[in-house]
Amino acid sequence: MSSAVSMIVTLIAAATLLGVIGSMFVDGVSVFGIGDTSICATDTTTTVGADDPPPVDFRAAPGVTVGLDANPSYCTDDPGTAQALLNSATQVPTFVFTVGALLLVLRLIRGAEGDGLYTARTAERLRRVGWWLLAGSVLAAIAESVSEKALIGSLSRGGDVSALSGLVSWDAPYMAILTGLGVLSFARIMRVGVAMREDLDGTV
């Protein structure tokens, strides 16, 4: 398992490095939005009827086109610096969360190999993995939602979409939250078990 996780982390790091280098020298290659010549964002919180006329609220900013399908979609072929940064910010949090989780799991596995599985240090490392899954997934989801809504707000005019609206319309990562709670529970069981074993060893 340690080798598998190490290989995954290495592949992600290599792919990211190659993507960054490629985005600087090769047209059509982008990573985290870096190198994109066009930017699009869809307002998934708003729906548009197929037979309804285009609402006045769905107006595009200068240099931006809007498409009205099930949801309004805004695209620009000449993004500004702020829009390019916001576009990257919609992709970076999930990447950071995933890589962080892999690194913590790798540290947990290697620590267990050296210190033993049923130890207080291993239980503490497991607890950190649980908190990362729980809190990190929520923060990543909120950060992406805020960035996406801020990007939509910069591409549109006349709507009520803003960065603040992203604080209430983010999608909760239920699977990561439930997994984090399960890992935290198991880490607590391990800590209690380790303490009981130490007390028993001291008594004997």
pLDDT value for 117: 79
Whole-prediction pTM: 0.80
pLDDT value for 181: 95
The confidence band for 52, taking pLDDT boundaries of 50, 70 and 90, is: low
* Rounded alpha-carbon distances, angstroms, from residue 88 to 69, 85, 185: 25, 5, 35
Mean per-residue pLDDT over the chain, rounded: 82
Nearest one of 176, 171, 172 to 149, comparing CA atoms: 171
**Is pLDDT above 60 for 204?**
no
Domain count, the chain: 1
CA gap 116, 155 in Å, rounded: 54
The confidence band for 46, taking pLDDT boundaries of 50, 70 and 90, is: confident
Residue 108 belongs to what domain range? 2-203
The confidence band for 141, taking pLDDT boundaries of 50, 70 and 90, is: very high
Least reliable range by pLDDT among 72-86, 155-169, 184-198: 155-169
Question: Tokens for 120?
Answer: 């207080």
